[in-house]
Amino acid sequence: MITLFKVVLNDLKILRYSWYCDKCSETTVTSDVGRGEYKAEDIWPTHTPTSKLCPECGNWASFISAHLVSFWTREDTQEELYKITDYPGACYHDKAGVRDPVTKEIRFGLDQQCLIVILPNNTKWLIDSRSSACSRRGDDRHRCWVRTGSIEEGTLTVTKSGNTCGGVSNYILADGVFYSLINNTLTEVNNHDDQVS
């Protein structure tokens, strides 16, 4: 069982410079320059950043890149998370929506939210998108997974009640294991007879 937790994608990004140490060869030395909104000329510094000493071996490491890093904030602990798929149970509202794999249109849930849940196999469950097994592919009014409740109230649940299709169950498949989502909890489902293939 995995209990979901809410994360929020920050509008600000972190500008991060990386250096590479030839001697350690596997060590990338990174440094956060700051966070904010950046213009293109800020990304590549006008002066080559001074070399940096490798913390592993003390050798000079050479500058290789500057990049912008998105980060999420975990609401309950305020912890900053960088690669969100590393955190099964993370759940966020994608303001940009998700692309319908059939119609190619941007899609939201019927409540105009678009919830994403990170599964135990580090993939994203796009609850408001269309299942690959959808049996009503020309229909945009139904949802393959019917989402009720809310992550904030601990009641987020996925069912097959309401305007839905027949080609998919209320479970989500991750690496051969089915999971249900009831009241913010992902639970492994061993008996999934009502799974329609």
Q: With binding defined as CB under 5 A, does residue 23 bind Zn ion?
A: yes
Instruction: Tell which one of 37, 56, 86, 152 touches Zn ion (CB under 5 A).
Output: 56
3-state helix, strand, coil in the chain (%, to 5): 5, 40, 60
Helix, coil or strand: residue 3: strand
Distance CA 66, CA 148 (A): 42
Burial class (CB in 10 A: 0-12, 13-18, 19+), 46: exposed
Distance CA 177, CA 165 (A): 21
> Least distance to Zn ion from the beta carbon of 81, Å?
27
Q: Nearer Cβ to Zn ion, position 138 or 176?
A: 138
Q: With binding defined as CB under 5 A, does residue 57 bind Zn ion?
A: yes
Q: Which residues pair with 182 in a beta bridge?
A: 185
Q: With binding defined as CB under 5 A, does residue 189 bind Zn ion?
A: no
From 49-57, 82-90, 179-187, 189-197, span contacting Zn ion (CB under 5 A)? 49-57
Pairing mode, strands 28-36 and 2-3: unpaired
> Least distance to Zn ion from the beta carbon of 53, Å?
9
Any idea which residue has 């998700």 for tokens? 98
Kindly report the length of the chain.
197
Q: Nearer Cβ to Zn ion, position 10 or 163?
A: 163
Q: With binding defined as CB under 5 A, does residue 144 bind Zn ion?
A: yes
Distance CA 129, CA 142 (A): 11
Phi then psi for residue 114, to 5 deg, are -140, 100
Residues between 149 and 178 with contacts to Zn ion, criterion CB under 5 A: 165
CA dihedral 191, 193, 194, 197 (to 10 degrees): 110
Q: With binding defined as CB under 5 A, does residue 66 bind Zn ion?
A: no
List the x/- string, 80-119, binding to Zn ion by CB under 5 A.
----------------------------------------
Q: With binding defined as CB under 5 A, does residue 21 bind Zn ion?
A: yes
Q: Nearer Cβ to Zn ion, position 8 or 57?
A: 57
From 45-53, 72-80, 102-110, 143-151, span contacting Zn ion (CB under 5 A)? 143-151
List contacts with Zn ion (CB under 5 A): 21, 23-24, 27, 54, 56-57, 59, 134, 136, 144, 165
